[in-house]
Structure 1
Amino acid sequence: MAAAAKQTVLVVDDTPENLDVIAGILKENYKIRVATNGAKALKLADSASQPDIILLDIMMPEMDGYEVCQALKKNPRTARIPVIFVTAKGEVSDEAKGFELGAVDYITKPVSPPLVLARVKTQLALYDQERYLDALVAERTKALEGTRLQIIRRLGRAAEFKDNETGMHVVRMSHYSRIIAESMGMPEDYCDLILQSAPMHDIGKIGIPDNVMLKPGRLTDEEWVIMRTHPSIGAMIIGDHDSELLKMAKVIALNHHEKWDGSGYPNGVAGTDIPIEARIVAIADVFDALTTARPYKDAWPVEKAVDVIKQDAGSHFDPELVDVFVRELPKVLEIKEKYAETTESIDQQEQRIVITENLP
């Protein structure tokens, strides 16, 4: 079995003799890197081969150890690297300042070799344990998020079981929504939320009677009144919750049929009074509906669907978001191809029609 790679210690001191002393103590057990000033230390700490721990002198010219430590902790890439101050400054106030800046330990000069070895070993063990626990949490969080997303998509598919769409519709339109949000410069957590909440946009269709939802012909005015209640029903199904995901899902469910000019439903909200996530989903939803084949219609060519969305900018859709959508069309088409309808998904649509037509 190959021996484990040595961990790396970065020693920072402006005096070469001090570097030699520390390196001599540690070199048998660790890989040593050295820096004679703060600027070089920051560069090495933020390099591709980051150190596992930093031993940092305080009294240095131009940039002292306190300033170096502060800069390390401000940089997300280096903030978690443990820092041990090694210095002749031994006053309690000096130690307190070091700990306030994020140092994990404090060694005074002249150094004791056994003490240096013990402190470095202890802090590296703690850092290793921290990284291991972080990895476990990240793995578990990823699994939970994956499960949550699958449940959400299945809720979306539950609504589509009463419609002529497949589960791939909610996958595609949710990714289209994320592409638009990312292009707008939205924070990553917002983009994740819209990806995960968009599949529930039509959950309210569960509450629409089958004689309206599955009617093969045109709906009457009275039936349209019923159909237009599905956003409100969806909002009631999702309900009120502290979860940011469910809050956004409710907003999208309630508002994704509102139109920029105020002619939408259920509340006739207009312009920027329509929540931004609902305006995003409206474009994604309509584009996918137009460009996907259904048992009752052929898929529209992409060019025709995009032209319609452009024509409806300022009436149905937020014109600025339409510009974003058109700009990101290459990414949208990649998603469309990646999650294209399969023979199985089309068969599922036809099976649903047969099942519902034969219900008593």
Structure 2
Amino acid sequence: MSDNINININQVSWKELGDITILVVEDDPFNQLLVKSLLKKFSEIHIIEAYDGAEALKIILTNIKIDIILLDLHMPTMNGYEFLEELKKDDKSYLVPIIFAMTTDENEKRKLYSHGVDGFISKPFNIEELEIKIYSAIKSKIEKAKDKSLFHTNDDIENSQKDFFCRMVEVKNKSNIDIKFQNEVIATIAKEFALLLGYNFKVASNIYCASKIRDIGLIGFNQDMKLDIKFSIEDKKKYNEYILCGYKMMNSHIETNFLKITKKIILQYRESYDGSGTPSQLKFSQISKKAMIVGMAETFEALLSIREYRDKKVYSSQETYNVFKYESGKRFSPELTKVFLKNFYTFIKLRKQILLK
């Protein structure tokens, strides 16, 4: 790679590139404002802001389409080098060109190029340099995408699977606001819990999606999952059968990391640490940690939601906390329960935020 500019200002035609989204990762509010003011004349350019590498990663991994990243090197929480290392772990970001919004010496440039950087923008910012370099990077990205269009990457397949299965579940639950809300809470808590346990953003995002489709086999279940109905023994037997149907649905598709995680969750998230769960009475290390994460997130939401068939219709936050403490070593792994309880009130806040949306 080189930092040379091969296009002059007269060759730039933004309309042929279509709408462009730029992620500006910069902790200095003045520089953020300056970039926006310099580029606001181009109606095709949309800007998203992040104030450190950690915030930028979260934006990227929510599947927002990002065409180019303007990245500062010196930032709190996660600096430029750390951001690049984390970005490498996420397969779907490999076509995103990156430009460091910084000046540096040639030795530093070579070091940064080896980390996957495409070029550099000088500070203070110059509108002509910004325009040409951004245009060149987007143009290069389009050419790379054309080269890749002859085959599907693993990431393409995973994204297609997520979209397909999530849409199926959304259609099933479209008229049930309560279940839609609860699924979002369970998925969000499971993802946050996974991050706290040390899983990277991509795995945590896969757990999020898998949580939403954990009961996909119930699409064939002719009883609507009403919250005020207590299942009979026969209903529970059928329920377990349809859980297995969900697993079989996954088996008919190309094996990806997303599907590997999802199949474990579908089969095991109702298992218990002490072997008293369903459908296979697995225990201890036989149960996938990812499945138990989802099982704990679902129990958390179930206790805090109204269930008319229970003697106790709804549990308070403190009562829910006490249940988790009691179930440590029984329903849940002591190791996971310790982390969950340490962050319990963070999860309570997340749930309230989703409720207010």
TM-score, normalised to structure 2, is 0.56
Q: Please give the per-residue CA displacement for 1:150-182, whole angstroms capped at 9, x wherever unaligned.
A: 765443345557999521111000000011111
Describe the shift of the 1:132–1:157 C-alpha distance in structure 2 as closer, same or farther (beyond 3 A). Answer: same
In structure 2, C-alpha distance between the alignment counterparts of 1:212 and 1:145, rounded to whole Å: 28
In structure 2, C-alpha distance between the alignment counterparts of 1:312 and 1:52, rounded to whole Å: 52
1:187-266 equivalences under 5 Å are 187-210=200-223, 216-217=229-230, 219-220=232-233, 222-239=234-251, 240-266=253-279
Of 72, 77, 81 in structure 1, the residue corresponding to residue 112 of structure 2 is: 72
In structure 2, C-alpha distance between the alignment counterparts of 1:75 and 1:281, rounded to whole Å: 35
Q: Please give the per-residue CA displacement for 1:171-201, whole angstroms capped at 9, x wherever unaligned.
A: 0000000111110111111111111221001
Equivalent residue number for residue 350 of structure 1: none
Q: What secondary structure sits across from 2:191 in the alignment?
A: helix
Equivalent residue number for residue 197 of structure 2: 184
Describe the shift of the 1:304–1:152 C-alpha distance in structure 2 as closer, same or farther (beyond 3 A). Answer: farther
Q: Please give the per-residue CA displacement for 1:22-72, whole angstroms capped at 9, x wherever unaligned.
A: xxxxxxxxxxxxxxxxxxxxxxx945795678774xxxxxxxx5xx45533
1:225 offset after TM fit, Å? 2.6
Q: Which deviates further from its counterpart, 308-317 or 147-156?
A: 147-156
Q: Which amino acid aligns with 2:118?
A: R
The answer to whether structure 1 residue 130 and structure 2 residue 130 are counterparts is no
Equivalent residue number for residue 323 of structure 2: 308
Describe the shift of the 1:340–1:246 C-alpha distance in structure 2 as closer, same or farther (beyond 3 A). Answer: same
1:149 offset after TM fit, Å? 6.3
Describe the shift of the 1:179–1:211 C-alpha distance in structure 2 as closer, same or farther (beyond 3 A). Answer: closer
Equivalent residue number for residue 325 of structure 1: 340
Question: Do 1:194 and 1:277's aligned partners in 2 also have CA atoms closer than 8 Å?
Answer: yes
Question: Do 1:252 and 1:277's aligned partners in 2 also have CA atoms closer than 8 Å?
Answer: yes
In structure 1, C-alpha distance between the alignment counterparts of 2:324 and 2:279, rounded to whole Å: 21
1:241 offset after TM fit, Å? 2.3
1:299 offset after TM fit, Å? 2.6
1:314 offset after TM fit, Å? 1.1
Q: What secondary structure sits across from 1:181 in the alignment?
A: helix
Which consecutive residues of structure 1, in runs of 5 or more, have no partner in the other structure? Answer: 5-44, 57-64, 84-120, 139-143, 343-360
Q: Please give the per-residue CA displacement for 1:293-352, whole angstroms capped at 9, x wherever unaligned.
A: 24546332121122112211111112211111112223211221122289xxxxxxxxxx
Question: Do 1:203 and 1:234's aligned partners in 2 also have CA atoms closer than 8 Å?
Answer: yes
1:15-94 equivalences under 5 Å are 46-47=73-74, 50=100, 56=106, 65=107, 68=108, 70-75=110-115, 79-81=117-119
1:248 offset after TM fit, Å? 2.0
In structure 1, C-alpha distance between the alignment counterparts of 2:261 and 2:352, rounded to whole Å: 27
1:81 offset after TM fit, Å? 2.7
Question: Do 2:100 and 2:120's aligned partners in 1 also have CA atoms closer than 8 Å?
Answer: no
Q: What secondary structure sits across from 1:285 in the alignment?
A: helix
Q: Which amino acid aligns with 1:230?
A: Y
In structure 2, C-alpha distance between the alignment counterparts of 1:338 and 1:137, rounded to whole Å: 40
Q: What secondary structure sits across from 1:229 in the alignment?
A: helix
Question: Do 1:260 and 1:271's aligned partners in 2 also have CA atoms closer than 8 Å?
Answer: yes
Q: What secondary structure sits across from 1:231 in the alignment?
A: helix
Q: Which amino acid aligns with 1:225?
A: K
Which consecutive residues of structure 2, in runs of 5 or more, have no partner in the other structure? Answer: 1-8, 10-71, 76-98, 122-127, 146-156
1:227 offset after TM fit, Å? 2.5
Percent of aligned pairs with the same residue?
19
Q: Please give the per-residue CA displacement for 1:133-164, whole angstroms capped at 9, x wherever unaligned.
A: 659999xxxxx999986765443345557999
In structure 2, C-alpha distance between the alignment counterparts of 1:305 and 1:206, rounded to whole Å: 30
Describe the shift of the 1:227–1:162 C-alpha distance in structure 2 as closer, same or farther (beyond 3 A). Answer: farther
Q: Which amino acid aligns with 2:183?
A: V
Describe the shift of the 1:159–1:320 C-alpha distance in structure 2 as closer, same or farther (beyond 3 A). Answer: farther
Question: Do 1:179 and 1:331's aligned partners in 2 also have CA atoms closer than 8 Å?
Answer: no
Q: Structure 1 runs of 4+ off > 6 angstroms?
A: 52-55, 135-138, 144-150, 161-164, 211-215
Question: Do 1:164 and 1:295's aligned partners in 2 also have CA atoms closer than 8 Å?
Answer: no
Q: What secondary structure sits across from 1:339 in the alignment?
A: helix
TM-score, normalised to structure 1, is 0.55
Question: Do 1:179 and 1:328's aligned partners in 2 also have CA atoms closer than 8 Å?
Answer: no
Count of residues in correspondence between the two structures: 244
Describe the shift of the 1:235–1:149 C-alpha distance in structure 2 as closer, same or farther (beyond 3 A). Answer: closer
Q: Please give the per-residue CA displacement for 1:214-241, whole angstroms capped at 9, x wherever unaligned.
A: 9945513x44332322321211123342
